[in-house]
A and B are shown apart, each in its own frame.
Chain A
Amino acid sequence: MFAMKLLRRMLGVALLLALIGGPARAALDPSLLAGFAGDFQSRMNAIEAIGVAGGDDARRVLDALEAGSLGVLEDKAVIVDGDTVRDAASGEVLTQAVDAVELITVNNRVRRTLANARAALALTSSDRAERLRAAITLGDNPNETLLPVFERALAAETDEEIRGILARAAARINLASPDPLVRLRAVRALGESSDPAVKNLLEGLLQKRDGNWVEPHPEVRTAAKMAIDDIDRRIAIAESVGTVFSGLSLGSILLLAALGLAITYGVMGVINMAHGELLMVGAYATFLVQGLFRSHLPAWLDWYVAAAIPVAFLSAALVGVAMERLVLRHLYGRPLESLLATWGLSLVLIQAARVIFGPQNLELANPSWMSGGVELAAGVVLPYNRIVIIGFAVFVLVLIWLMMQKTRLGMFVRAVTQNRPMAGCVGVPTARVDTLAFAIGSGVAGLGGLALSQIANVGPAMGTGYIVDAFMVVVLGGVGQLAGAVWAALGLGIVSKFLEGWAGAVIAKILVLVFIIVFIQKRPQGIFALKGRFADS
């Protein structure tokens, strides 16, 4: 048995040399095909050997086998092609009749072997995706006959990802080698992985079975231990990066929601409980723009998101202005009642969305340039849409900062936030500033809705959960401070994602709330005893 394996490997290596040295279209070595004339096991070996050999002819033979047209005729493998019979190795037409051929039956075991052989063949394909697929297929269940295939593919492969898979698969095979040096090298190669499955494999080496170590050589065991530590560290880093990233992404959504609230709350001293519904308005506006593009500009569908930016902003701003003019203006100086009235507004808006768009959740398609993502490690993927949203939040933040710091309107807004009567006295048109600030704050919420529509479902009640979180951001960051809002949003986002990974979403939410309450204990004057009209009578 061992001799046969050795023989096959030698055959493979010999063929490899032949392939490298020989002409481009060398006929398949007839000795490879001789196995088809033998018993079932020798046929299986032949299939494997053909896969290992590679090349166009090998592909032709495997195709024929799969189609059921490969047969045996007088100890020779032949292919039945309609009425003619061809020699499988050379392809030349033979004179014998089709009836004389004994066709090879393709059962499940043959099919499995065939699949592996095909994957080995595909490793030499010019299409990256096909090679990747093949490498994953083979890497999942490597056996030692494939070792030369891996080594050959490694020599030619330039793609890092495929190289990694192949190298790990080869190393896994080498772990079974009788030579401790080969095993040591294999363990070191596996240590470069960040795949939990590889870690399990290495841990297997460190166990005792029937009182004996699975891995007899102590040096290899030490190397395995170090390799496991390496893998652990790499997985931990990748996971932390992933968590920080999802925290940033949550934080940027929170920031978009909180920026608007910080402006309206700062200026009017009113918590707009319908602020979450302004997110919803922005999201539905995005949905409508997508519908318009789909029916009128299908060629530009990928860019509907860009077109939706002004639409989402303006529609939410309009709703905001209507709210301010019709309701909030008349409740000046009664913040608790404003809270109730805006809650009523939010009920009306949610129900209106339910009546107009229906109660079901709508799913918006990401544009193609926002789908997919960067894979950091096994299972840690940074999706492009979240990356874009982080960038978008930064963009909006910069715009708002410029507006607040560099424009006359921004100066007025800051003045009214600090001291309304005094601002009025020096000629700031406070009523108009209220309206404009509310429009801008609402518009930013609309932009938040646009961002949210790209990562979550759009539904009538999508905004309700955000008002409390957004308010927490405003509270933590301090009213009227953009920088505070940024730190608070990102901090809350990242902290809650880490807590989620550690204790689950619900406990995380409760812990964050407890943290905020404790924080308020420590810094009441910094955040709660505000200047201006909130400093009590």
Chain B
Amino acid sequence: MRTPFTVRLIRSTPKSGWLAIAVFAAITLIGVPLAHLALPESNPLHLSAYTVSLLGKILCYMVVAVAMDLIWGYAGILSLGNCLFFALGGYAFGMYLMRQIGRDGSYGADIPDFMVFLDWKELPWYWAGSDSFLWALFLVVALPGVVAFVFGWFAFRSRIKGVYFSIITQALTYAAMLLFFRNETGFGGNNGFTDFKRILGYGITSPEMRVTLFALSAALLIVCLVLGRYLVTSRFGRVLAAIRDAESRVMFIGYNPLHYKLFMWTLSAVLCGLAGALYVPQVGIINPSEMSPANSIEIAVWVAVGGRGTLVGAVLGAGIVNLAKSFFTVTVPEYWPFFLGFLFIAVTLYLPDGVVGLWRRLHARRALAAASDVVAVPQRLREQADSAHDSAAKGATA
């Protein structure tokens, strides 16, 4: 008898993983809200509104990093379009947020301020239904999903891969950015959406709303991790890894790589869209520069820094790089591009498996040293230590 899905889902994450998730959930779902809402500002453990928003933003980035890792680390497809899906999700939810402003905008009109500015009298057709929260949620999932599905269908069907796929997705993102920069496109042009007031009638700047959004981001991250873990350990994930390592052979055996790649690619896009939708109300603005090609590549670097092909690595990488970014852009903004640039180079040259790979290698070496007296063990351990590196290198070439 086939094991029930829930059991398989729970079993896919090891005990240590569930423990880590429990600790993470305790901190983000209980600890942070309490520290922000219940503790007085004088308390050293109190978290300011700025910190909660910053952490919430980074949680959204972590979700994007996990989505990127699923498609790059496990399917070997370096997508430079993830920030497009992130922004699409953000814009889809941003439309709802703009409608929630109601008549509180500076012109007091029924339509968003930027439309008044353009001298538009009514909402364009594609804004229909944007005042409905449920429709917004549907769009957040459907818009990136459909775009990714259609684009991926054509791209994977003609077996575009490797650097070609990367560049084509980058071109797609770039074209979309140009499109959204136009005022006539109807999404606020250069300035995008901002000045949000409320969600479902509740004020967007209230502390309660802030921790709710934060907790939702954390919950989304947990769902992503568990779901991702389930996917990559399932039969589906193993076929995907096989496609990454030797696509032609997988085809000869009788699998059609199109379906596997397309599913993962679309899922990755949807996760990015969800992250974008949670990101926008926390940051308070969405504009086309979110889609700039540089952003997509930065996502890849988060994953590379943390360790490709490990979900925990993606989360760590997004955290490390973004904390460093917050630090640098506040203290020495002009050196941030240098730091980021050298980080790109250093990670690819010296840390092909990222922080997680480094930790594993050190761990393996220590085990190796401890076990060096035992004749039978070292060979197997050495292989273990090397295999991670090899498979990553193969994945990159495929």
- Could you tell me which A residues sit within 8 Å of B by CB distance? 270-271, 273, 327, 330-331, 333-341, 343-348, 350-352, 354-355, 464, 468, 471-472, 475, 505-506, 509-510, 513, 516-517, 520-521, 524, 528-529, 534, 536-537
CB atoms of A506 and B178 under 8 A apart:
yes
User: Which of these binds chain A: B27-35, B81-89, B156-164, B318-326?
Assistant: B156-164
Q: A289 to nearest B CB, angstroms?
A: 27
CB atoms of B174 and A347 under 8 A apart:
no
CB atoms of B393 and A334 under 8 A apart:
yes
Instruction: For A534, list chain B residues within 8 Å (CB).
Output: 162
Contact with A along B359-398 (1 / 0, CB 8 A): 0000000000000000000000000000000000100111
CB atoms of B175 and A510 under 8 A apart:
yes
Instruction: For B290, list chain A residues within 8 Å (CB).
Output: none
Task: Give how many A-B residue pairs fall within 8 Å (CB-CB).
Answer: 138
User: Could you show 11 A-B contacts with beta carbons less than 8 Å apart?
Assistant: A339-B166, A344-B342, A344-B345, A347-B341, A351-B338, A468-B293, A472-B167, A513-B172, A516-B171, A521-B157, A537-B246
Docked CA distance A22–B243 (Å): 99
A472 to B, closest residue via Cβ: B171
Docked CA distance A340–B345 (Å): 7
Cβ-neighbour of B348 out of A341, A505, A513, A537 (below 8 A) = A341
Docked CA distance A346–B181 (Å): 24
Docked CA distance A510–B179 (Å): 8
User: Which of these binds chain A: B107-115, B123-131, B296-304?
Assistant: B296-304
Docked CA distance A468–B173 (Å): 11
Q: Does B78 contact A (CB under 8 A)?
A: yes
Contact with A along B241-259 (1 / 0, CB 8 A): 0000111110000000000
Contact with A along B138-153 (1 / 0, CB 8 A): 0000000000000100
The binding surface of chain B is classed by DSSP as helix
Q: Does B119 contact A (CB under 8 A)?
A: no
- Could you tell me which B residues sit within 8 Å of A by CB distance? 72, 78, 151, 154-155, 157-160, 162-164, 166-168, 170-172, 174-175, 178-179, 181-182, 245-249, 293-294, 297, 300-301, 304, 334, 337-338, 340-345, 347-349, 352, 393, 396-398
CB atoms of B78 and A336 under 8 A apart:
yes
CB atoms of A335 and B297 under 8 A apart:
no
The answer to whether A334 and B396 touch (CB under 8 A), given A506-B181, A517-B154, is yes
Q: A76 to nearest B CB, angstroms?
A: 64
The answer to whether A537 and B159 touch (CB under 8 A), given A344-B342, A475-B164, A517-B168, is no
The answer to whether A336 and B178 touch (CB under 8 A), given A327-B345, A341-B344, is no
Instruction: For B182, list chain A residues within 8 Å (CB).
Output: 506
CB atoms of B304 and A537 under 8 A apart:
no
Docked CA distance A339–B164 (Å): 11
Cβ-neighbour of A513 out of B175, B249, B293 (below 8 A) = B175
A505 to B, closest residue via Cβ: B178
Instruction: For B352, list chain A residues within 8 Å (CB).
Output: 334, 337
The answer to whether A343 and B297 touch (CB under 8 A), given A335-B396, A335-B397, is yes
Instruction: For A471, list chain B residues within 8 Å (CB).
Output: 167
CB atoms of B154 and A271 under 8 A apart:
no
Cβ-neighbour of B344 out of A343, A351, A468, A536 (below 8 A) = A343
B247 to A, closest residue via Cβ: A536
B394 to A, closest residue via Cβ: A537
CB atoms of B155 and A355 under 8 A apart:
no
CB atoms of A340 and B301 under 8 A apart:
yes
CB atoms of B164 and A513 under 8 A apart:
no
CB atoms of A468 and B340 under 8 A apart:
no
CB atoms of B163 and A347 under 8 A apart:
no
The answer to whether A509 and B168 touch (CB under 8 A), given A271-B163, A330-B349, A536-B398, is no
B337 to A, closest residue via Cβ: A351
Instruction: For B396, list chain A residues within 8 Å (CB).
Output: 333-337
Q: A526 to nearest B CB, angstroms?
A: 11
CB atoms of A327 and B349 under 8 A apart:
yes
The answer to whether A536 and B248 touch (CB under 8 A), given A509-B178, A513-B172, A528-B160, is yes
A511 to B, closest residue via Cβ: B175
Docked CA distance A376–B355 (Å): 63
CB atoms of A528 and B158 under 8 A apart:
yes
Known interface pairs A333-B393, A510-B178, A529-B159; 7 further A-B residue pairs with C-beta atoms within 8 A, sorted by A's residue number: A271-B166, A334-B352, A347-B341, A475-B167, A521-B157, A524-B158, A537-B249
Docked CA distance A351–B343 (Å): 14
Instruction: For B348, list chain A residues within 8 Å (CB).
Output: 331, 334, 337-338, 340-341, 344
Docked CA distance A346–B352 (Å): 20
Instruction: For B342, list chain A residues within 8 Å (CB).
Output: 344, 348
Of A271, A347, A350, A517, chain B has the most CB atoms within 10 Å of the CB of: A347
Q: A327 to nearest B CB, angstroms?
A: 6
The answer to whether A344 and B170 touch (CB under 8 A), given A509-B175, A529-B159, is no
Instruction: For A464, list chain B residues within 8 Å (CB).
Output: 293
A269 to B, closest residue via Cβ: B163
Cβ-neighbour of A341 out of B72, B178, B249, B349 (below 8 A) = B349
CB atoms of B344 and A336 under 8 A apart:
no
Cβ-neighbour of B297 out of A337, A340, A472, A528 (below 8 A) = A340
Of A333, A355, A505, A537, chain B has the most CB atoms within 10 Å of the CB of: A537
Docked CA distance A516–B246 (Å): 27
A536 to B, closest residue via Cβ: B248
Docked CA distance A270–B397 (Å): 11
Cβ-neighbour of B159 out of A335, A337, A524 (below 8 A) = A524
The answer to whether A348 and B155 touch (CB under 8 A), given A331-B348, A337-B352, A506-B181, is no
Instruction: For A339, list chain B residues within 8 Å (CB).
Output: 78, 163, 166
Q: B35 to nearest A CB, angstroms?
A: 36
The answer to whether A537 and B171 touch (CB under 8 A), given A344-B345, A345-B345, A524-B158, is no
Docked CA distance A510–B158 (Å): 20
Q: A269 to nearest B CB, angstroms?
A: 8
Instruction: For A271, list chain B residues within 8 Å (CB).
Output: 163, 166-167
Instruction: For B158, list chain A residues within 8 Å (CB).
Output: 520-521, 524, 528
Instruction: For A472, list chain B residues within 8 Å (CB).
Output: 167, 171
10 residue pairs, one from A and one from B, having the closest CB atoms: A344-B344, A347-B341, A348-B341, A351-B337, A341-B348, A524-B158, A334-B396, A344-B341, A337-B348, A344-B345
Instruction: For B78, list chain A residues within 8 Å (CB).
Output: 336, 339
Q: A416 to nearest B CB, angstroms?
A: 18
Q: B344 to nearest A CB, angstroms?
A: 2
Docked CA distance A343–B348 (Å): 11
CB atoms of B340 and A347 under 8 A apart:
yes
Instruction: For B151, list chain A residues within 8 Å (CB).
Output: 517
A265 to B, closest residue via Cβ: B163
The answer to whether A468 and B170 touch (CB under 8 A), given A351-B334, A513-B175, is yes
A465 to B, closest residue via Cβ: B174
CB atoms of B349 and A333 under 8 A apart:
no
A338 to B, closest residue via Cβ: B348
CB atoms of A335 and B154 under 8 A apart:
no
Instruction: For A343, list chain B residues within 8 Å (CB).
Output: 297, 344
Q: A500 to nearest B CB, angstroms?
A: 12
Docked CA distance A350–B167 (Å): 20
Cβ-neighbour of B340 out of A270, A336, A344, A516 (below 8 A) = A344
The answer to whether A345 and B341 touch (CB under 8 A), given A271-B167, A333-B393, A468-B174, is yes
